[in-house]
Structure 1
Amino acid sequence: MPAKNGPPNGQEPPRPPAPGTLMVDAAHGDRVGEFRGVAGPYWSLRPVGGGAEWEADPARVRPADPIERLRAELGRANARSRGELL
């Protein structure tokens, strides 16, 4: 029997969000990142406060809720005030 390329159990893969959407990666301790794009079977997320992108399994990623978005944006604003972000 030939191997199938696709999600297990015949499920459709999640649809990628719009670039810039804040997402939570459950596989990385509920880390919040900005969606940057698709890299093969993974989604690329970038820390809101800056830093290196990481690849996330789309099945373990969900949209950030309002309080998570607020915390991420506040962290970004604080980093800018300290001169850490341009």
Structure 2
Amino acid sequence: MLIRMASNQQTGPGIGELAKDTVRGRIGVVMGAVGGRVQIRPIGGGMEWDAMPDNVVVPSAREELSARLAIRNANSWNGL
């Protein structure tokens, strides 16, 4: 049985939280929502992209750790 929540209930990550765009397979930080789309920015900064709300989920602990580690490693190569 499929259970649907009311449209005004938040089902995905909120602003400032990590999110995974399941279509692109990318993880970033939710910056907001405009025009029915969620705006996500890469963890290390950069250009935001839009995703449909149904395609945005909370990343697993492993996915979050992997994304944060990749940013940390990239920053260490740049001397940050």
Larger radius of gyration: 1
- Find the residue that maps to 1:27 and give its secondary structure: coil
List structure 1 segments (4+ residues) > 3 angstroms apart after TM superposition: none
Q: Please report how far the alpha carbon of residue 75 of structure 1 lies from its aligned counterpart in structure 2 after TM superposition.
A: 1.1
Two-structure CA RMSD over aligned residues (Å): 2.5
Report the number of matched residues: 76
Q: Could you tell me which of 16, 29, 38 is aligned with 1:34? A: 29
1:36-80 per-position Cα deviation (integer Å, ceiling 9, x unaligned): 111120010011132210000001110011000001110111122
Distance 2:32 2:62 in 1: 24
Structure 1 gaps of 5+ residues are 1-8
* Residue 24 in structure 1 maps to residue 20 in structure 2: yes
TM-score, normalised on structure 2?
0.77
Higher helix share: 1
User: Partner of 2:75 in structure 1?
Assistant: 80
* Residue 48 in structure 1 maps to residue 43 in structure 2: yes
Distance 1:81 1:53 in 2: 23
Q: Could you tell me which of 64, 73, 77 is aligned with 1:69? A: 64
Structure 2 gaps of 5+ residues are none
- Find the residue that maps to 1:43 and give its secondary structure: strand
